[in-house]
Amino acid sequence: MGDLENAPRDITIPEEKQPMFKELTSNSDSPFFNEDMKDLFVFSAAYGYDRGLRTELEDTRHALFNRASLSDDQVWILKSIAVKETESPETLKDGAELYEVVREFANGGIDQLYTQYTGPNDMFSSLSKNIIKKSDI
């Protein structure tokens, strides 16, 4: 897949979110246990988009993974989110804008996912209910 103009080499997240990603992928009781950071990032972006959780990014950054490690399917999911949000196919040409949009959704999405994980309810059950609800549409 051709490289986007101005696309970042690394996908970064706010530095204070890095422990959330790490905990969700390294704790055996997490639904994301042993998942790659890129997989959790894509899920967080999609979850954040679905929930309308676009959250402005803080200045501090932590490189989560190299953008080139994303699969073609993952790239298309992220592109779809950005184009739907901006309502402009021109977003597909500007990698900086595209990844800024999806990073903002992942920023809000990871907050909500982590809150569910650390909260009193069963995260597996909550996510399952959300998926079932979406499939009934």
pLDDT value, residue 2: 46
Q: What mean pLDDT do residues 27-54 have?
A: 96
Q: Give the closest residue to 78 by CA, choosing from 52, 47, 53.
A: 47
Q: Give the closest residue to 53 by CA, choosing from 65, 63, 43.
A: 43
> Average model confidence (pLDDT) for the chain?
90
Q: What mean pLDDT do residues 61-82 have?
A: 96
Is it the case that residue 77 has pLDDT exceeding 90?
Answer: yes
Residue 91: how many other CB atoms lie within 10 Å = 20
Q: Is residue 137 classed as helix, strand or coil in its secondary structure?
A: coil
Q: Evaluate whether 40 touches 131 at the Cβ level (below 8 Å).
A: no
pLDDT value, residue 59: 81
Is it the case that residue 37 has pLDDT exceeding 80?
Answer: yes
Q: How confident is the model at residue 58 (pLDDT cuts 50, 70, 90)?
A: confident
Beta strands in the chain (DSSP E): 10-14, 61-66
Taking the C-alpha atoms of residue 46 and residue 16, their distance in angstroms, rounded to an integer, is 20
Give Cα 84 to chain centroid, integer Å.
Answer: 15
pLDDT value, residue 5: 78
Q: What mean pLDDT do residues 76-86 have?
A: 97
Which contiguous run of DSSP H or E holds residue 69? none
Greater model confidence, 122 or 34 = 34
* pTM given for the model: 0.88
DSSP 26: H
pLDDT per residue as tens digits for the range 1-23: 445 778 999 999 999 999 999 99
pLDDT per residue as tens digits for the range 107-117: 999 999 999 99
Question: Over the Cα atoms of the chain, what is R_g?
Answer: 15
Taking the C-alpha atoms of residue 29 and residue 45, their distance in angstroms, rounded to an integer, is 22
pLDDT value, residue 125: 67
Taking the C-alpha atoms of residue 33 and residue 38, their distance in angstroms, rounded to an integer, is 13
Q: Is residue 63 classed as helix, strand or coil in its secondary structure?
A: strand
